[in-house]
Chain A
Amino acid sequence: QLQLQESGPGLVKPSETLSLTCTVSGGSISSNSYYWGWIRQPPGKGLEWIGNIYYSGTTYYNPSLKSRVTISVDTSKNQFSLKMSSVTAADTAMYYCARHEATGTTAHWGQGTLVTVPS
């Protein structure tokens, strides 16, 4: 059974870089049928797609975040990662990693990790 688990600091200082890793188990990140992505949700608000990556390293980003975001993949560890630079309090959110079907639907989600950026 596929499982995704986010890890990383729960508190990031303003102007610093947020770094999260998603570890995939029960399936290979090198499958050519899926994209591996990040989605966030500020407290009490809706979902925002951050971006995703194909196992080959091809990335797609939300234009609203593209200048600050880098997603990378480590197939040897079955992991992919998110880096978001110059964070502010507006980046405080639950961050989910997820597996996207080739179409873009998301059937598998991690449990999420809360990242707080104090104001």
Chain B
Amino acid sequence: EIGMTQSPATLSVSPGERATLSCRATQNVGSNLAWYQQKPGQAPRLLIYDASTRATGIPARFSGSGSGTDFTLIISSLQSEDFAVYYCQQYSNWPPITFGGGSKVEIK
């Protein structure tokens, strides 16, 4: 099973600032990495797939990068609606599909 570790667990950022989230896999997953956003009381929403491709309707301020074992999600200028929990997920070698533990982006 491929383990996924996210950091930081919590990131405090002011609106308009940049947020950088990291995700590390225990094995090489190539570019088979997705990012999800989850707001309280809602299901997760797919933001990025194939490490760097934005899903339909996702604003350009969200960008993903990386390959192999190290990945990054950048939110270039945080909007109020971006404060949420973010999860990475690998789909290189499944089952099982595995998720990181999440990173919470909170208002500073």
Find out whether the CB atom of B97 lies under 8 angstroms from the CB atom of A107: no
Distance to closest chain A CB from B98 (angstroms): 7
By size class, the interface of chain B is: 20 to 34
Quick one: CB contact mask for A78-119 with B, threshold 8 Å, 1 for yes? 000000000000000000100011011111011110000000
How far, in whole Å, are A47 and B6 apart by their CA atoms in the complex?
A: 13
Taking CB as reference atom, which chain B residue is nearest A62?
B96
Distance to closest chain A CB from B57 (angstroms): 10
Q: Please count how many residues in chain A sit with their CB below 8 Å of the partner chain's CB atoms.
A: 23
Find out whether the CB atom of B95 lies under 8 angstroms from the CB atom of A48: no
How far, in whole Å, are A46 and B96 apart by their CA atoms in the complex?
A: 15
Find out whether the CB atom of B95 lies under 8 angstroms from the CB atom of A47: no
How far, in whole Å, are A109 and B56 apart by their CA atoms in the complex?
A: 15
In chain B, positions 90-108 with a C-beta closer than 8 Å to chain A are 91, 94-102
Find out whether the CB atom of A64 lies under 8 angstroms from the CB atom of B49: no
- CB of B72 closer than 8 Å to a CB of A: no
Find out whether the CB atom of A103 lies under 8 angstroms from the CB atom of B91: yes
Taking chain B's interface residues, is the majority helix, strand, or loop, or is none over half, making it mixed?
loop
Taking CB as reference atom, which chain A residue is nearest B102?
A46
- CB of B32 closer than 8 Å to a CB of A: yes
How far, in whole Å, are A61 and B95 apart by their CA atoms in the complex?
A: 7
Taking CB as reference atom, which chain B residue is nearest A97?
B43
Find out whether the CB atom of B91 lies under 8 angstroms from the CB atom of A111: no
B100 cross-chain contacts in A, Cβ below 8 A? 46
Find out whether the CB atom of A103 lies under 8 angstroms from the CB atom of B32: yes
Distance to closest chain A CB from B4 (angstroms): 10
Find out whether the CB atom of A105 lies under 8 angstroms from the CB atom of B95: no
B34 cross-chain contacts in A, Cβ below 8 A? 105-106
14 A-B residue pairs with Cβ-Cβ distance under 8 Å, sorted by A, are A46-B99, A47-B87, A48-B99, A51-B95, A61-B95, A96-B44, A101-B49, A104-B94, A105-B49, A106-B34, A106-B46, A106-B89, A109-B44, A109-B45
Q: Which residues of A contact B (CB under 8 A)?
A: 37, 46-49, 51, 60-64, 96, 100-101, 103-107, 109-112
